[in-house]
C-alpha cells in the first residue's frame, strides 16, 4: 500500500517510513517553490538505503525538478543545502539536485509513465534515525519517492496487492485526482538490488 503523508513540513512532523528494506512509494505534492516535505526512517549500520525521486509526465509538472536531501548520522556531506531546509546540527547532509531525464519511463506491467529526477544509494554509515527532505527551489508539483531494496510482504499485504511482483500500489479515486502520478490507478515500483554508494541526478 502507498504511504500517505500530510503535515510533514518540518523534521518534528516528518512522515515515518516503516521497514526501510521493503519497497514502498510515497505520492505527494509540493504546493509551491521552496516548500519542503520531510520523511524519516530508522536504519542499522551497513543496511542498504535506496531512495529514488520521480515526477509525472503531466504538462503541469513540466518544470518541476525537486531534489533529495538525506540527513543522518555519518552521512557524507555532499552538495548544496538550501538555507530553509531543516537539518540536525550533528548529522551529515547529502543533497542531490533533481535533473529531469530526457525520456519518460514507461511501465511494462501498467499503462503509466513517470520522469526520473534523482537517486541516492548507499549503506547506512551508523545506527540511527535518518531524514529525507524533498524540495524544489522554484516550482510546486507532484512527486513520487520510492524507498527500499527488498520485496517482502505479509500475508495481508499479498491479499491487498494481488499482483505484487512488481509491487502495484493502489490509490483511491480522490488521491488519484490529486496526484497524476497515480493515474491510471496503479503504478508499479520495482525493488532495486543493493548498489554501491552513489548520488546522482537522473541519468539521461
Q: pTM above the 0.75 mark?
A: no
Q: When comparing pLDDT for 176 and 96, which is higher?
A: 96
* CA–CA dist 199, 52 (Å, integer): 10
Q: When comparing pLDDT for 86 and 5, which is higher?
A: 86
Residue 62's pLDDT band, with cuts at 50, 70 and 90, is confident
49: closest CA among 72, 66, 65? 72
Q: Which residue has the cell 522554484?
A: 138
Tens-digit pLDDT profile for residues 117-154 = 999 999 999 999 999 999 998 999 999 898 876 554 45
Q: When comparing pLDDT for 42 and 88, which is higher?
A: 42
Q: When comparing pLDDT for 96 and 189, which is higher?
A: 96
Q: Please tell me the predicted confidence (pLDDT) of residue 179.
A: 40
Q: Please tell me the predicted confidence (pLDDT) of residue 7.
A: 87
Q: When comparing pLDDT for 7 and 155, which is higher?
A: 7
What mean pLDDT do residues 59-80 have?
Answer: 92
Q: Please tell me the predicted confidence (pLDDT) of residue 51.
A: 93
Q: When comparing pLDDT for 197 and 4, which is higher?
A: 4
Domain boundaries, the chain: 15-190
* CA–CA dist 87, 93 (Å, integer): 8
Distances (CA, A) of 51 to 32, 48, 158, 161, 185: 22, 10, 23, 22, 22
CATH top-level class of 15-190: mainly beta
Amino acid at each position: 500500500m502507498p504511504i500517505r503523508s500530510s503535515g510533514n513540513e518540518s523534521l518534528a512532523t516528518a512522515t515515518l517510513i516503516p521497514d526501510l528494506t521493503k519497497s514502498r512509494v510515497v505520492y505527494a505534492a509540493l504546493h509551491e517553490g521552496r516548500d519542503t516535505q520531510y520523511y524519516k526512517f530508522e536504519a542499522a549500520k551497513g543496511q542498504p538505503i535506496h531512495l529514488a525521486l520521480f515526477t509525472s509526465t503531466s504538462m503541469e509538472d513540466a518544470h518541476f525538478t525537486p531534489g533529495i536531501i538525506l540527513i543522518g548520522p555519518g552521512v557524507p556531506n555532499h552538495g548544496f543545502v538550501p538555507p530553509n531546509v531543516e537539518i540536525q546540527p550533528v548529522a551529515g547532509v547529502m543533497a542531490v539536485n533533481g535533473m529531469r531525464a530526457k525520456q519518460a519511463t514507461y511501465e511494462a506491467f501498467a499503462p503509466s509513465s513517470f520522469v526520473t529526477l534523482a537517486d541516492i544509494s548507499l549503506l547506512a554509515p551508523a545506527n540511527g534515525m535518518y531524514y529525507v527532505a524533498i524540495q524544489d527551489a522554484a516550482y510546486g508539483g507532484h512527486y513520487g519517492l520510492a524507498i527500499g531494496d527488498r520485496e517482502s510482504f505479509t500475508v495481508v499485504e499479498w491479499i491487498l496487492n494481488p499482483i505484487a511482483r512488481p509491487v502495484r500500489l493502489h490509490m483511491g479515486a480522490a488521491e488519484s485526482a490529486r496526484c497524476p502520478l497515480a493515474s491510471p490507478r496503479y503504478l508499479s515500483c520495482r525493488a532495486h538490488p543493493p548498489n554501491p554508494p552513489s548520488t546522482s541526478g537522473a541519468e539521461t
